[in-house]
Structure 1
């Protein structure tokens, strides 16, 4: 199989991120003004990388994060396998201390290896991993050498775990921020991280009013 340079980004900021509202697979939110600025800065920094194809989740915040590349005419494809984890009944709800404690308890369960645990009755890490592997099979089957994937925070952590051959209980090992980049090299069936949660392209970010 041909080697590939794989660039994986988390989407830009949404109002749900800003307000600390629960945002999962069932919430199809838009980027806010800061998120659009983050997307524009990433585009300026990486527009000369010879990407041959762009992949996004089925959610519009990922497509909006790579809009500049799509407008360049690059082929792009939506793959629901790259969707965010579902947080079940918690999705769309505002920040609440009790709900946050349940979230943290869920992360602790995953960290202990209880990967069947569901936060709010949503997805398990195993289910997210299974659909990501199917999506990556499609990416790897393509002839493109340089690809860009726009995904989500928790999904990104899970994906990087299995890509690096780590148990899914180690997902907290991979930090993320809105519009951060993980750059990987795929060769001989193995992935290598080249850039780790990089946000240097956001150095000119202007803080928006109210931030």
Structure 2
């Protein structure tokens, strides 16, 4: 049975994450010291894996997250289709009470199945899914790449996992995530189906808690 193994990670922590500022695709922030430490901890835990290629979004925080692997000279591509959702007018803001209500209403509408609704000047989950699909098609068109590493973003991962698992996008919030968490996926070329082997795993970060 021909299979592909995908290590799907969320980027490490940024100061915007720590401060509760909305980033989306419009804020191209760097990892902070904790994020860099998380990236190194993940590298130390998984440097033994023979990744055939690394895929990231176009945003710096995903590229910096996998930089220790890139320093080994591994093949690498960045794709805008893997970018975080655009939160439109919410980006770059510390949520206040109005923004929290706006955000809560938006998330509730998505959970109710209105996944074509977008933020003002931003994207809807359905729009994100449509730009993700060509990248996933490209990845699956390369069966010689048996094991790959993909670095993405929280909301984008929720959207991706929903449609990969053939679920409505309204179910996306079941896929929890934290900075530098790992979802390990297996894809079967025989059945054209994905399975999730690890979910929101962060055991590789335990060394940071002990430091």
- Under TM normalisation by the shorter chain, which class is it? over 0.9
Match of residue 192 from structure 2? 189
Match of residue 200 from structure 1? 203
Matches within 5 A, 1:63-102: 63-102=63-102
CA distance in 2, matches of 1:65, 1:104: 29
The answer to which of 199-208 and 12-21 deviates more is 199-208
Match of residue 104 from structure 2? 104
1:121 shift after superposition: 3.1
CA distance in 1, matches of 2:34, 2:210: 8
When the two chains are superposed, the root-mean-square deviation of aligned CA atoms in Å is 1.4
* 1:56–1:79 Cα contact (<8 Å) kept: yes
* 1:11–1:150 Cα contact (<8 Å) kept: yes
CA deviation map 1:63-121 (0-9, x unaligned): 00000110011000001110000000111112212101211110100000011211233
Match of residue 159 from structure 1? 160
Query: Helix, strand or coil for the counterpart of 1:193?
Result: strand
User: 4+ residue stretches of structure 1 with deviation over 2 A?
Assistant: none
Match of residue 179 from structure 1? 180
Q: Which ranges in structure 2 are unaligned for 5 or more consecutive residues?
A: none
How many corresponding residue pairs? 208
1:206 shift after superposition: 4.6
Closer, same or farther: CA 28–207 of 1 in aligned 2, 3 Å: farther
TM-score, normalised to structure 1, is 0.95
